[in-house]
């Protein structure tokens, strides 16, 4: 099978986007109509989530039917209601006897400071994204300023003044025996995005002036980590923007238990840490879900290791595909 280098290379996974390009916000729905074993790892200090407790391996529900990644801060969690409505109409859900209840975990990022704060992903937008979802037989999902990445940005130590536009990216890798691991991620990090192959910053806090203050030197990027050691950087940490989060999903056609899916989600966070610097701060709400849709045998450590690789590549693709918007420069011309 030809790969599209996308999470939809994993059979049983579909992706749909919906967004408001004027308001610079949107949502992305990852559908698994036949159900998928799921796990989650919440690593950031300021997360916004829905239905993550049921993914604990000790809890009853084994499979979920969709995951929603959305902008709009906590308001954006409403998009999951629209996805539930869409799935209910398709007669998809956990059979309770009296009714089928779709299981739809969600995670949000903060994009209210870009575009319009009074327009957020809602139930209608969630339903629209679900209806637009397509799988491996279609073209790969759009990347950049789409879905949950529509209002994403990076390098926000000093707010929007020296930040850059980011977006949504996806990637996949085949690890042998027909086993595929894919990732999709919306990158709205407080810190910088690093190319792990070169160690160079490719998007993030730019050098420049804020009023009379000079941030950084002659280089294009000021380097958030370096600025954290300087007095000016230490001075803004307590006041720094809480409008940050990297939210994503990894998926595989390998057979995993809930406990193994949780382990894969945790290992996938390593891919985030390799490409976002610093990662998992108190100012970020980093959340990664893991899905298993198949029956292929694979070592869980191998799946987790390549989930991190796929996540890392997806993050790089997210910033490279982002166009300038909301007054922030993007890498894609």
Residue 54's domain is classified under what CATH number? 3.60.70.12
User: In Å, what is the CA distance from 122 to each residue of 20, 69, 89, 218?
Assistant: 11, 12, 18, 43
- Spatial distance between the Cα atoms of 8 and 195, rounded to a whole number of angstroms: 24
User: In Å, what is the CA distance from 318 to each residue of 88, 186, 234, 330?
Assistant: 32, 7, 29, 10
Task: Give, to the nearest 10 degrees, the angle between helix 123-131 and helix 79-89.
Answer: 50
pLDDT at 219: 82
pLDDT at 239: 46
Q: For the ranges 170-174, 202-206, 279-283, 311-315, which has the lowest average pLDDT?
A: 279-283
- Spatial distance between the Cα atoms of 165 and 102, rounded to a whole number of angstroms: 34
Peptide bond into 278 cis (omega under 30): yes
For tokens 């610093």, what's the residue? 278
Helix (H) or strand (E) holding 318: helix 300-320
Mean pLDDT along residues 224-249: 73
Does a structural domain hold residue 331? no
Residues 6+ apart with CB under 8 A from 47: 107, 245, 285, 286, 287
Query: Are the beta carbons of 113 and 73 closer than 8 angstroms?
Result: no
Does a structural domain hold residue 328? no
Mean pLDDT along residues 100-112: 96
Residue whose C-alpha is closest to residue 24's, from 191, 155, 149: 149
Please state the pTM of the whole predicted model.
0.94
Task: Give bridge partners of residue 185 from the DSSP assignment.
Answer: 169, 248
Helix (H) or strand (E) holding 125: helix 123-131
Q: How many domains does the chain have?
A: 1
- Spatial distance between the Cα atoms of 174 and 306, rounded to a whole number of angstroms: 9
- Spatial distance between the Cα atoms of 147 and 186, rounded to a whole number of angstroms: 9
Reported as a single tens digit per residue, the pLDDT across 17-30 is 999 999 999 999 99
Does a structural domain hold residue 118? yes
For tokens 């279609």, what's the residue? 138
Reported as a single tens digit per residue, the pLDDT across 303-330 is 999 999 999 999 999 999 999 999 999 9
- Spatial distance between the Cα atoms of 135 and 6, rounded to a whole number of angstroms: 10
Query: Are the beta carbons of 10 and 253 closer than 8 angstroms?
Result: yes
Other C-beta atoms lying within 10 Å of the C-beta of residue 1: 10
Residues 6+ apart with CB under 8 A from 197: none
DSSP 239: T
Mean pLDDT along residues 59-84: 96
Query: Are the beta carbons of 135 and 14 closer than 8 angstroms?
Result: yes
Range of the domain at 43: 7-320
Other C-beta atoms lying within 10 Å of the C-beta of residue 186: 33
Hey, which bits of 46-167 come out as E strands? Answer: 49-50, 63-70, 94-95, 100-101, 106-108, 153-154, 164-165
Is the pLDDT at 138 greater than 90? The verdict is no
Backbone angles phi and psi of 77, in degrees to 5: -65, -20
Does a structural domain hold residue 333? no
Mean pLDDT along residues 76-103: 96
For tokens 């930040």, what's the residue? 163
Query: Are the beta carbons of 249 and 7 closer than 8 angstroms?
Result: yes
Reported as a single tens digit per residue, the pLDDT across 67-76 is 999 999 999 9
Reported as a single tens digit per residue, the pLDDT across 142-200 is 999 999 999 999 999 888 889 999 999 999 999 999 999 999 999 999 999 999 999 99
- Spatial distance between the Cα atoms of 235 and 182, rounded to a whole number of angstroms: 40
Mean pLDDT along residues 198-212: 90
């Amino acid at each position: 099978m030809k790969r599209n280098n996308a999470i939809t290379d994993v059979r049983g996974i579909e992706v749909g986007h919906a967004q408001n390009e004027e308001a610079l916000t949107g949502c992305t729905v990852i559908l698994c109509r036949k159900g998928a074993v799921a796990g989650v790892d919440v690593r950031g200090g300021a997360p916004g989530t829905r239905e993550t407790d049921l993914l604990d391996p000790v809890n009853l529900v084994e499979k979920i039917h969709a995951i929603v990644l959305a902008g709009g801060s906590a308001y954006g969690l409403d998009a999951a209601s629209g996805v539930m409505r869409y799935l209910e109409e398709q007669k998809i859900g956990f059979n309770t006897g009296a009714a089928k209840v779709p299981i739809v975990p969600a995670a949000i990022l903060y994009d209210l400071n870009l575009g319009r704060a009074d327009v957020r992903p809602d139930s209608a937008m969630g339903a629209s994204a679900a209806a637009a979802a397509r799988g491996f037989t279609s073209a790969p999902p759009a990347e950049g300023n789409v879905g949950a990445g529509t209002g994403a940005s990076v390098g926000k130590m000093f707010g929007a003044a020296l930040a850059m536009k980011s977006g949504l990216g996806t990637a996949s890798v085949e690890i042998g025996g027909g086993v595929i691991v894919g990732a999709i991620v919306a990158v709205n990090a407080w810190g910088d995005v690093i190319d792990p192959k070169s160690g160079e910053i490719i998007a993030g806090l730019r050098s420049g002036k804020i009023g009379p203050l000079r941030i950084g030197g002659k280089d294009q990027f000021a380097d958030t980590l370096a600025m954290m050691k300087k007095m000016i950087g230490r001075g803004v940490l307590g006041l720094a923007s809480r409008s940050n989060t990297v939210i994503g999903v990894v998926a595989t056609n390998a057979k995993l238990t809930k406990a193994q899916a949780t382990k894969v989600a945790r290992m996938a966070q390593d891919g985030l840490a390799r490409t976002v610097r610093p990662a998992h701060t108190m100012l970020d709400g980093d959340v990664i879900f893991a899905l298993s849709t198949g029956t292929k045998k694979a070592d869980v450590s191998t799946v987790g290791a390549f989930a991190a690789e796929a996540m890392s590549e997806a993050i790089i693709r997210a910033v490279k595909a982002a166009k300038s918007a909301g007054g922030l420069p993007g890498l894609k011309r």
